[in-house]
Amino acid sequence: MTSNEIILDGSVLEGGGQLLRIAVALSTLISQPISIHNIRAGRRPPGLKAQHAAGLRLVAELCQGRLSASDPGTKEIHYQPGSEVLLSRMYTADPGTAGATTLLLQVSFPCLLFSPESSPSTEHHTELILCGGTNAIQAPQIDYTAHVFLPFIRHHFGLAPTLQVKMRGYYPKGGGRVRILIPAVPGPLPSVNLTHRGSVIAIRGRSYVAGLPAHLAAAMRNAAVSSLQSRGIDPRIVDIETVKEEPHDAVGSGSGIMLWAETDGDCILGGSAIGVKGKKPTMVGEEAAEELVRNLAHGGCVDEYMQDQMIIFLALAKGRSMVKTGPLTLHTKTAIWVAEQLTRAKFEVREESASSFIIQCDGIGYTRARHTLIES
């Protein structure tokens, strides 16, 4: 333990992997040593899983940081970030399991966004090759990243990452492979003002199977369309493609559906479900539709998953951001807690109605050019 190390209790609030990911990413950006104990204390089993360990090792590699034991099952880590994130390289992370590639992206992506130069450079494009599961339970599907998360990042922060799914990977084999190219910017990121959602103008989706009969994808799609229509959605604005993955494009067998709604207020909200053994495909389609409708019902501008994923970016941005959301999730409360522990970002949550809230953040205006924090 170093004298300036910040100690975090990994069991606070959500008490899972998200706390770990946000803390390590922010620690890397601001060169702040941290110690996290009671990692995933409420989970069974507690401690790091292979996916968490792979993400920690990846981020330590990005900045040549020092990381204490990171084996699966580890319940306490000490992390001393290096002084500089090394850009314009290729990095690979592979947990050796079906652990979610999207969660590996969550911990590493913020670390690679900022160029050390004070003006834009075309040279700093960092390549990530992330292996594991692309469509897993208890994690965003890679289709969510492609159709909800990255469009949010591009539209509101002016960033231009690209994503390619080279191979789909399904539980329990994993074996998926995702390539992300991340151009760095000088920063700071702009603030976000997103309080008027507007009307839904389109609902799109992807219903897929791999190693299973194609009719299951059609059944999920049809059930989702019927469920949306029964909840007042005009079927003429719904467009859900069905996909049967080719054997050379996927490892293992799997199925699921990803839906996203687009509004005339430049908002995108998602809903998804994964097929599992014993669950009828119609139930999978209905579950995704119900989740999307639930995310639309509160009138907010982001869904429950984007709500917590945006927090680290609002904290890093310059100025005051305001985003209208639905009720705060435990993941979001955790993300806010970690951001305020490690930075000078200040969050305020105001209730608009029984089901809608405004998340306000006075961000720190982070830039790597001065390797310090700029006051907003």
Domain encompassing residue 139: 87-186
pLDDT band at 4; cut points 50, 70, 90: confident
Range name among 120-134, 308-322, 351-365 with the lowest pLDDT average: 120-134
Are 163 and 277 members of one domain?
Answer: no
Instruction: Please indicate if the annotation marks 1 as binding a ligand.
Output: no
Instruction: Please indicate if the annotation marks 79 as binding a ligand.
Output: no
Are 192 and 311 members of one domain?
Answer: yes
User: What's the pLDDT score for residue 292?
Assistant: 98
Single out the residue of 15, 20, 28 nearest to residue 59, CA to CA.
28
Instruction: Please indicate if the annotation marks 138 as binding a ligand.
Output: no
- Could you say which of 128, 158, 186 is where a domain stops? 186
Are 349 and 289 members of one domain?
Answer: no
Are 181 and 214 members of one domain?
Answer: no
- Could you say which of 297, 329, 346 is where a domain stops? 297
Are 151 and 227 members of one domain?
Answer: no
Are 338 and 208 members of one domain?
Answer: no
Single out the residue of 57, 93, 92 nearest to residue 72, CA to CA.
57
pLDDT band at 354; cut points 50, 70, 90: confident
- Its sign, for the CA torsion 343, 24, 18, 113, is positive
Average pLDDT value for the chain: 93
**Does 362 score more than 60 pLDDT?**
yes
User: What's the pLDDT score for residue 308?
Assistant: 97
Show Cβ contacts of residue 213 under 8 Å, excluding neighbours closer than 6 positions.
none
**Does 375 score more than 50 pLDDT?**
no
Are 274 and 338 members of one domain?
Answer: no
**What domain count does the chain have?**
4
- Could you say which of 297, 326, 352 is where a domain stops? 297
Instruction: Please indicate if the annotation marks 144 as binding a ligand.
Output: no
Instruction: Please indicate if the annotation marks 307 as binding a ligand.
Output: yes
Are 95 and 67 members of one domain?
Answer: no
Are 309 and 367 members of one domain?
Answer: yes
pTM (2 d.p.)? 0.94
Record the tokens describing residue 248, joined without a space. 């050379």
Instruction: Please indicate if the annotation marks 229 as binding a ligand.
Output: no
The CATH number covering residue 40 comes to: 3.30.110
User: What's the pLDDT score for residue 376?
Assistant: 33
Catalytic residues: 331
Are 33 and 166 members of one domain?
Answer: no
Give the pairing of strands 200-210 and 238-245: parallel
| Alpha-carbon gap, residue 43 to 46, rounded angstroms | 5
Structure confidence by residue, pLDDT tens digits, 76-121: 999 999 989 999 999 999 999 889 999 999 999 999 999 887 555 5
Record the tokens describing residue 354, joined without a space. 């029984």
| Alpha-carbon gap, residue 115 to 86, rounded angstroms | 10
pLDDT band at 69; cut points 50, 70, 90: confident
* C-alpha to C-alpha distances, 164 to 145, 176, 177, nearest whole angstrom: 11, 11, 9
Range name among 2-6, 42-46, 128-132 with the lowest pLDDT average: 2-6
User: What's the pLDDT score for residue 120?
Assistant: 54
| Alpha-carbon gap, residue 364 to 345, rounded angstroms | 6
Structure confidence by residue, pLDDT tens digits, 188-240: 999 999 999 999 999 999 999 999 999 999 999 999 999 999 999 999 999 99
